[in-house]
């Protein structure tokens, strides 16, 4: 029984020594397609490659600058549009408030009339005043909208003109 026990104990040691001696081997060590031959790159090819890389870097810098300028332009345009829309909405609310106040005042005055003739005269006067007021308000809103559209489109127009000028110069 002692012989069997000694043989069993010796076997694991033999396995351990074999695995410790075996070094990791690359699976492609002998595969010729993955080996790189040592070769000298001609100076002319190297110079052309470096020149191409420099040109690519310059082109990238130009594109990056143009993209940043376009982003800034869009941000400015959106901010101008946002501010203009807020101002336009405030004007519209002010116009609506003025018209509502005038209408309530008219209704209050209508409650105090004594005759039909007074009511017709008050109605005619109110209608004329409201027509003049609405005409004036519409004109003001149109002028504001025109100014807003000019303010929004001016930077874009200037940027396009600059781009075309730069493009023609290049």
Q: 106-162 pLDDT, tens per residue?
A: 999 999 999 999 999 999 999 999 999 999 999 999 999 999 999 888 888 887 787
Q: 21-41 pLDDT, tens per residue?
A: 555 555 666 666 666 666 777
Other Cβ atoms less than 10 A from the Cβ of 105: the count is 11
Number of domains comprising the chain: 1
Q: Could you tell me the sign of the dihedral formed by the alpha carbons of 84, 87, 91, 96, in that order? A: positive
* 12 compared with 29, residue with greater pLDDT: 29
């Amino acid at each position: 029984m002692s012989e069997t026990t000694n043989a069993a104990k010796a076997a694991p040691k033999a396995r351990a020594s074999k695995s410790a001696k075996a070094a990791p081997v690359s699976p492609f060590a002998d595969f010729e397609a993955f080996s790189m031959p040592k070769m000298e790159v001609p100076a002319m090819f190297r110079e052309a490659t470096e020149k191409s890389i420099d040109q690519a870097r310059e082109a990238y810098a130009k594109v990056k600058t143009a993209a940043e300028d376009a982003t800034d332009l869009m941000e400015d345009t959106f901010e101008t549009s946002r501010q203009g829309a807020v101002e336009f909405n405030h004007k519209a609310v002010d116009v609506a408030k003025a018209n509502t106040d005038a209408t309530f005042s008219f209704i209050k005055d209508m409650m105090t009339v004594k005759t039909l003739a007074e009511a017709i005269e008050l109605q005619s006067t109110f209608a004329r005043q409201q027509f003049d007021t609405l005409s004036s308000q519409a004109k003001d809103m149109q002028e504001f909208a025109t100014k807003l559209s000019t303010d929004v489109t001016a930077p874009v127009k200037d940027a396009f003109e600059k781009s075309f000028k730069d493009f023609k110069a290049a």
